[in-house]
Chain A
Amino acid sequence: MGTLEHILDEMTYATTHIADIVRKEKAKGRIIVACMPVHTAEELVYASGAFPVGAWGAEKMMISRASEYLPPYACSVVQSITELGAIGAYDNLDAAVVSCLCDTLKCLTQNFLSTNPNVKMIAIKYPQNHKLEGAVRYLMDELFGIKNKLEELTGKSITDTAIYKSIEIYNENRKEMMTFVKHLSKKPGLLTNRQRHTVIKSRYFMDKAYHTGLMKSLNTELAAMATPAFNGIRVYAAGIMIEPQEILDVLDELDYAIVYDELAHETRQFYHPVPDGVDQIERLARQFQTYEGNPLIYDPFKKRAEMIASGAKENNADAVLYVQLKFCDPDEYDYPWVRKAVNEAGLPIMNLEIEQSMQSVEPVRTRLQAFAEQLTSRL
């Protein structure tokens, strides 16, 4: 097997054996910290020596215990996290970092205290008015608080040097991830949509430095590969996430290629590097200040709409796939504006409603088939 296949196999293993990975790390004596949606100061967790593991729910989860906490109209990601918490799947964790970036996540910070009283819940209260200097000071104070909590948890001090090194590792990983997504933008069909997703998702479950090593090798392989002949539909994906992964298989079967994305679960995680600076905590706070067009952060000029439209054009997309996670209010409020901007840019857009818990993707297949027919006749 060539290097590409080895790397993809290793990454697939990481995304499908999360519990095993956590057990192995725990056996080494490491503190395990779940990083829940959407943005968490993962660099701080890494700097503490703890093992950060992504926790964005599980696909196709049957929801039962979560209904003791949530009515049916909570988004499926938080339903799934709550369900996993309630059935004991998170009992191996030492802590969980949850961001208060939407009302549903705010409620998760509280319900988690009941579902997992033995797991330390660390809430990260990002400031919505993030461009103000007062917000940077606020976030610095919050991050200091989180640093203290991680130090209590691990029993070890987190030095500025450790944070500096952690930021360097994460920025390096972000750089390689951006190189990766750009390869696939220029050469659609090089990997399947599912493989693309696996590569991105695997970074949640691997040591970041190690993952960067894999990414460098992968990017070298991809750079050397010829551009495949691709006559399918190039799409720009926007939204929270695309799971169950069978949806990606359907996209592959119907000859769609995701040429770029602004998904919360994917490129939004590595699009903004941590900026330079002398104060490491300030650097992390200022990274949040750089976020633009993020649907979970106050965006008075709705820059997101133009960014999606121009992003789609820049990546030669034929259409925008607005993957609407059912019950996600921020995306629901943004959709009419994104649609307007995308249509004004001369591109079609499809609002594809999904749930992480959906048991069958056939309705999605039907809609994507119809959209493909529409696009093909247009092209």
Chain B
Amino acid sequence: MSEQKPDSKTLLRKLTDQYYDDLNKAHERGQKVVWTNGLFPQEFLEAMDIQVAYPENHAAALGARKGAMPYIDKCEALGYSNDLCSYSRINLGYCESFASDVLNIPKPDMVCCCTNVCGVVVKWFECLAMRFNVPFVLIDTPFQTEYGPTVNDVEYISAQFKELIITLVKLCGKSFNYKKFHDVLAVSRRVAASWKRATDYVQHIPSPFDGFNMFNYMALAVMARSKESTADFYDYLSEEMQTYIKKHKSQFKGEQQHRIMWEGIACWPHLAHNYKTLRDNNMIVVGGMYPYEWYVDFEIDDIRSYAEAYALRPPVGSLMRQTDVRAQIMEDTHCDGALYHVNRSCKLMTFLQAGLRRDVYERNGKPFVAFDGDQTDPTNFSPAQFETRVQALKENIEALKKEKGASV
């Protein structure tokens, strides 16, 4: 009797569990553990056989499984403001106990971060370095005020890689493994290509791929970007999507009446509610930043190309480039409208979002709405507001379609 192949969601769970298991047993194996943020050039760490933990991802998992509040409360009791990013509040609170019924990560031997996500990580990781008395290495990718990264930006980023290598050598007590680094870069490129191939399936009409699932699927691109198993997984996902297309199937169980771009990260504590609301309104998420964000591609033997790749993500630099990226996403994925998450925890994204909404609308004339939410603080979200906004988006999309004589 042949064994039925698991679906991609089951396989994802298995790989994620494996990642956390490997992580939590790292110290037993004599491996160093380094904490960093999702878009850090982690290839350097992988080259030194370091187990990498991602506090943002851990916080997201705690948020999604309704386990965030005790750590948020603990963090605020330490004197941190509730104005701060909820990923950091959860993590700083978690650091006081390392005891969760949901998911755990081991203590760090070093912390490092990259400012390509935001400047808040610098302050957050300063607190971690002080808390654990461990080295803290920063890779600073300057904010792109004009368009993309400049030649000067790329030179500066490349210069910082040397300091990172020096610290890793000290931490691990061995030379930097340039051969492995070269091999790891090749794997990362394979992951980027596999991720792009899989997520490009959202461009199909109807889409076999439910774009809302990207929030979960991207976990491996975040945490295991230099693993062959990650590239294999995204290839597996592509094969699954290809099968769905042949069988006229889709992961989305509702009617794909309206295709939308979801701008921003998920509201992790409210995933089920958000998904149900969209499905009940026959809205499928096809557009989002994440296919672009995790497509980290570069020339292997060109360190400046590598530096530039990391400087380019995510698209939170100049408003002009942000607009270009979102407008292109909406075009490529044939969106009827857009749903903007005004994320209370992410000032770098939300303080430019009003301009982004206006500018993208000016480009494509597609209806949009915004809702107030938070990536992991469950208190910064109103289900009723979300439902009302989604309904308004639906009405606007339908009105526009009617105006254009398209089928609603």
A: residues with CB less than 8 A from B are 68-71, 73-74, 100-104, 106-107, 109-111, 113-114, 123, 125, 127-129, 132-135, 137-138, 141-142, 145, 295, 298-302, 324, 326-327, 329-330, 332-337, 339, 351
B 147-188 binary contact with A (CB < 8 Å = 1; else 0) = 000001101101110110000000000000000000000000
Are A332 and B83 in contact, CB atoms less than 8 angstroms apart? yes
Are A100 and B126 in contact, CB atoms less than 8 angstroms apart? no
Tell me, rounded to whole Å, the shortest Cβ–Cβ distance linking A102 to chain B: 6
- Within the assembled complex, what's the spacing in Å between the Cα atoms of A109 and B118? 15
Tell me, rounded to whole Å, the shortest Cβ–Cβ distance linking B360 to chain A: 14
| Residue of A132, A135, A326 with highest tally of chain B CB at under 10 A | A132
Residue B351 contacts which of A104, A332, A336 (CB distance < 8 angstroms)? A104
Are A335 and B160 in contact, CB atoms less than 8 angstroms apart? no
Residue of A nearest to B113 (CB): A298
Answer yes or no: B123 CB below 8 A from chain A CBs: yes
Are B156 and A329 in contact, CB atoms less than 8 angstroms apart? no
Are B347 and A104 in contact, CB atoms less than 8 angstroms apart? yes
In the complex, what residues of A have CB within 8 A of residue B355's CB? 69, 110-111, 114
Are A329 and B347 in contact, CB atoms less than 8 angstroms apart? yes
Are B351 and A100 in contact, CB atoms less than 8 angstroms apart? no
- Within the assembled complex, what's the spacing in Å between the Cα atoms of A298 and B319? 25
Given A109-B145, A125-B142, A127-B140: A71 and B159 interface contact (C-beta under 8 Å)? no
Answer yes or no: B348 CB below 8 A from chain A CBs: yes
Are A71 and B145 in contact, CB atoms less than 8 angstroms apart? no
Tell me, rounded to whole Å, the shortest Cβ–Cβ distance linking A107 to chain B: 4
Are B136 and A300 in contact, CB atoms less than 8 angstroms apart? yes
Answer yes or no: B325 CB below 8 A from chain A CBs: no
Residue of B nearest to A106 (CB): B143
Residue B156 contacts which of A101, A107, A127 (CB distance < 8 angstroms)? A127
- Within the assembled complex, what's the spacing in Å between the Cα atoms of A141 and B277? 51
Answer yes or no: B115 CB below 8 A from chain A CBs: yes
- Within the assembled complex, what's the spacing in Å between the Cα atoms of A333 and B87? 13
> A145-B152, A336-B78 are known contacts; what are 5 more A-B pairs with Cβ within 8 Å?
A106-B145, A125-B142, A134-B159, A329-B347, A333-B120
- Within the assembled complex, what's the spacing in Å between the Cα atoms of A101 and B145? 12
In the complex, what residues of A have CB within 8 A of residue B130's CB? 301-302, 337
B 111-123 binary contact with A (CB < 8 Å = 1; else 0) = 0000100111011
Residue of A nearest to B131 (CB): A337
In the complex, what residues of A have CB within 8 A of residue B79's CB? 335-336, 339, 351
Tell me, rounded to whole Å, the shortest Cβ–Cβ distance linking B88 to chain A: 8
Answer yes or no: B57 CB below 8 A from chain A CBs: no
Are B78 and A110 in contact, CB atoms less than 8 angstroms apart? no
Are A107 and B126 in contact, CB atoms less than 8 angstroms apart? no
Answer yes or no: B138 CB below 8 A from chain A CBs: yes
How many residue pairs link A and B with beta carbons under 8 A? The number is: 148
Residue of B nearest to A340 (CB): B79
- Within the assembled complex, what's the spacing in Å between the Cα atoms of A106 and B81? 22
Are A107 and B351 in contact, CB atoms less than 8 angstroms apart? yes
Residue of B nearest to A108 (CB): B351
In the complex, what residues of A have CB within 8 A of residue B122's CB? 128, 298
B: residues with CB less than 8 A from A are 78-81, 83-85, 88, 115, 118-120, 122-124, 126-127, 129-130, 135-136, 138-140, 142-143, 145-146, 152-153, 155-156, 158-160, 162-163, 318-319, 342, 344, 347-348, 350-352, 354-355
Residue of B nearest to A332 (CB): B81
In the complex, what residues of B have CB within 8 A of residue A334's CB? 123
Residue A103 contacts which of B80, B118, B140, B160 (CB distance < 8 angstroms)? B118
| Residue of A100, A101, A128, A133 with highest tally of chain B CB at under 10 A | A128
Residue B80 contacts which of A127, A137, A298, A336 (CB distance < 8 angstroms)? A336
Residue A302 contacts which of B126, B140, B159 (CB distance < 8 angstroms)? B126
8 A-B contacts (beta carbon < 8 Å): A69-B355, A70-B351, A71-B342, A110-B352, A299-B126, A301-B130, A326-B83, A329-B84
Residue B145 contacts which of A100, A299, A330, A336 (CB distance < 8 angstroms)? A100
- Within the assembled complex, what's the spacing in Å between the Cα atoms of A106 and B143? 7
Residue of A nearest to B141 (CB): A128
Tell me, rounded to whole Å, the shortest Cβ–Cβ distance linking A16 to chain B: 30
Are B136 and A134 in contact, CB atoms less than 8 angstroms apart? no
| Residue of B115, B123, B127, B135 with highest tally of chain A CB at under 10 A | B123
Residue of B nearest to A297 (CB): B122
Given A125-B143, A127-B140, A142-B152: A71 and B80 interface contact (C-beta under 8 Å)? no
Residue of A nearest to B354 (CB): A69
- Within the assembled complex, what's the spacing in Å between the Cα atoms of A137 and B152? 9
- Within the assembled complex, what's the spacing in Å between the Cα atoms of A10 and B84? 41
Residue A138 contacts which of B119, B138, B155 (CB distance < 8 angstroms)? B155
| Residue of B126, B129, B163, B354 with highest tally of chain A CB at under 10 A | B126
- Within the assembled complex, what's the spacing in Å between the Cα atoms of A217 and B39? 54
Given A123-B145, A339-B79: A138 and B351 interface contact (C-beta under 8 Å)? no
In the complex, what residues of B have CB within 8 A of residue A337's CB? 127, 130
- Within the assembled complex, what's the spacing in Å between the Cα atoms of A113 and B319? 9
Given A300-B136, A327-B83, A332-B83: A103 and B159 interface contact (C-beta under 8 Å)? no
Are B318 and A110 in contact, CB atoms less than 8 angstroms apart? yes
- Within the assembled complex, what's the spacing in Å between the Cα atoms of A351 and B83? 15
Tell me, rounded to whole Å, the shortest Cβ–Cβ distance linking A292 to chain B: 14
Tell me, rounded to whole Å, the shortest Cβ–Cβ distance linking B317 to chain A: 9
- Within the assembled complex, what's the spacing in Å between the Cα atoms of A327 and B350? 14
In the complex, what residues of B have CB within 8 A of residue A137's CB? 155-156, 159
In the complex, what residues of B have CB within 8 A of residue A335's CB? 79-81
Are A68 and B354 in contact, CB atoms less than 8 angstroms apart? yes
In the complex, what residues of A have CB within 8 A of residue B159's CB? 132-135, 137-138
- Within the assembled complex, what's the spacing in Å between the Cα atoms of A142 and B140? 15
In the complex, what residues of B have CB within 8 A of residue A101's CB? 119
Residue of B nearest to A125 (CB): B142
Are B80 and A129 in contact, CB atoms less than 8 angstroms apart? no
